[in-house]
């Protein structure tokens, strides 16, 4: 006998991560919890950090779950073996190039742990095509699930300053190096746009960088308004394996807030941005200065690009459409 949908037991989903405040946990797990519940699942989260007690608690909860999703973490062989035995279905979800060093150079240790994790799982969920390609070398059951945003949360009204042309960068101290390395490009742009200012929505400032700055402490409740109150979002990046593993979160946030974007031509940023449609890709100081200067002089084009970017996020990179792809994979695990 088949039970009515409202009487069927919920499938238990356990998400394992390094912490609830981690960006990957917030964007690739927690923001989907209401949608999982509406779809008949019961999601929960456990932190696999904090010593032996936390690890044993994680293993106990894994035994009770129908599907265990490990977010970004890899484990030493004995613990991975225990987790595999405790899990009916095991999924690995990652949104960074965790198989290499953070400067993009190869790491045998990280690659070995990544390979073991991918091989042990029933399915691998990768944040972009580059990551999926690396995972496919160890497990054929790989799907691209892009990092996404709640597009509706970024649709806010905010007044942009009339006496300044604000470029905005959002991030944290861990990604400060990318912005610091871009300062010669932004200085070149400031030579073309005298009223240019760099708004830094983060936990740091760059005093004495050669460009006027406006530091704004990051807060979840104000980030959307701070972005919308700017003119252009910027996303400088290196072109190495670590950067190629990034999943264009900054770009998605800017586009969801209705901003045109100027970005390095690297990684997933190149996949998300429609060149000349939602923003520009730049590879040299001259290109950065040119693209920023063109946007500064054309408010109509900024508005047109911003609206196109918002539509793209809502169609392909917002929680609703991305969750449907994710749900179909998890539901198919049996």
| CA-to-CA separations, 111 to 76, 91, 101, 297, 331, in angstroms, rounded | 12, 18, 10, 47, 29
Range with lowest mean pLDDT among 45-54, 187-196, 300-309: 45-54
| DSSP letter (8 states) at residue 140 | S
Q: How do beta strands 165-170 and 196-202 pair? A: parallel
pLDDT-derived band at 188, boundaries 50, 70, 90: very high
Q: What is the pLDDT at residue 49?
A: 83
- Whole-number Å distance between alpha carbons of 91 and 236: 32
The token duo for 89 is 């279905």
Q: Name the residue with higher pLDDT: 266 or 296.
A: 296
* Confidence class for position 104, pLDDT limits 50, 70, 90: very high
E strands of the chain, at which residues?
11-17, 41-47, 67-71, 90-94, 123-126, 142-144, 165-170, 196-202, 213-217, 232-235, 261-264, 279-282
Q: Find out whether 181 and 211 touch, Cβ atoms under 8 Å.
A: no
3-state helix, strand, coil in the chain (%, to 5): 45, 20, 35
Is the pLDDT assigned to residue 8 strictly greater than 70? no
**225 within 8 A of 158, measured Cβ to Cβ:** yes
Q: Measured between alpha carbons, how far is 91 from 334 in angstroms, rounded to an integer? A: 13
* Residue 6 predicted with pLDDT over 60: no
pLDDT per residue as tens digits for the range 105-158: 999 999 999 999 999 999 999 999 999 999 999 999 999 999 999 999 999 999
pLDDT per position as a tens digit, 208-221: 999 999 999 999 99
Quote the mean pLDDT of the chain: 94
DSSP bridge pairs for 168 = 199, 233
Report pLDDT for 2.
45
Q: Which structure tokens are listed for 154?
A: 């970024």
Q: What is the pLDDT of residue 4?
A: 47
Domains of the chain, earliest start first: 6-148+318-331 (3.40.50.2000), 151-316 (3.40.50.2000)
The average pLDDT across 284-308 equals: 96
Residue 9: the pLDDT is 62
Is it the case that residue 274 has pLDDT exceeding 80?
A: yes
């Amino acid at each position: 006998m088949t039970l009515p949908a409202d009487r069927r037991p919920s499938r238990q989903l356990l998400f394992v991560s390094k912490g609830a405040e981690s960006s990957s946990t917030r964007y690739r797990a927690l923001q989907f919890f209401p949608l999982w519940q509406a779809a008949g699942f019961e999601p929960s989260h456990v932190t696999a950090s904090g010593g032996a007690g936390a690890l044993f608690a994680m293993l106990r909860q894994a035994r009770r779950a129908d599907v265990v999703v490990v977010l970004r973490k890899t484990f030493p062989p004995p613990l991975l073996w225990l987790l595999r035995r405790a899990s009916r279905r095991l999924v690995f979800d990652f949104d960074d190039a965790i198989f290499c060093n953070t400067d993009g150079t190869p790491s045998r240790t990280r690659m070995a742990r990544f390979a073991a994790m991918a091989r042990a799982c029933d399915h691998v969920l990768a944040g972009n095509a580059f990551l999926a390609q690396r995972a496919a070398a160890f497990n054929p059951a790989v799907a691209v699930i892009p990092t996404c945003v709640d597009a509706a949360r970024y649709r806010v009204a905010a007044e942009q300053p009339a006496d300044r042309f604000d470029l905005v960068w959002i991030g944290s101290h861990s990604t400060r190096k990318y912005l610091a390395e871009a300062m010669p490009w932004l200085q070149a742009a400031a030579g073309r746009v005298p009223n240019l200012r760099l708004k830094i929505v983060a936990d740091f400032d760059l005093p004495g960088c050669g460009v006027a700055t406006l530091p704004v402490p990051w807060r979840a409740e104000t980030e959307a308004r701070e972005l919308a109150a700017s003119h252009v979002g910027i996303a400088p990046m290196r072109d190495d394996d670590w950067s190629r593993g990034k999943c264009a979160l900054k770009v998605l946030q800017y586009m969801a807030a209705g901003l045109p974007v100027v970005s390095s031509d690297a990684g997933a940023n190149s996949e998300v941005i429609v060149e000349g449609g939602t923003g520009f890709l730049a590879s040299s100081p001259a290109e950065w200065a040119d693209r920023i200067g063109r946007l500064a002089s054309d408010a109509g084009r900024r508005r047109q690009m911003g609206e196109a970017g918002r539509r793209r996020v809502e169609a392909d990179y917002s929680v609703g459409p991305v969750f449907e792809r994710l749900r179909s994979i998890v539901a198919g695990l049996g």
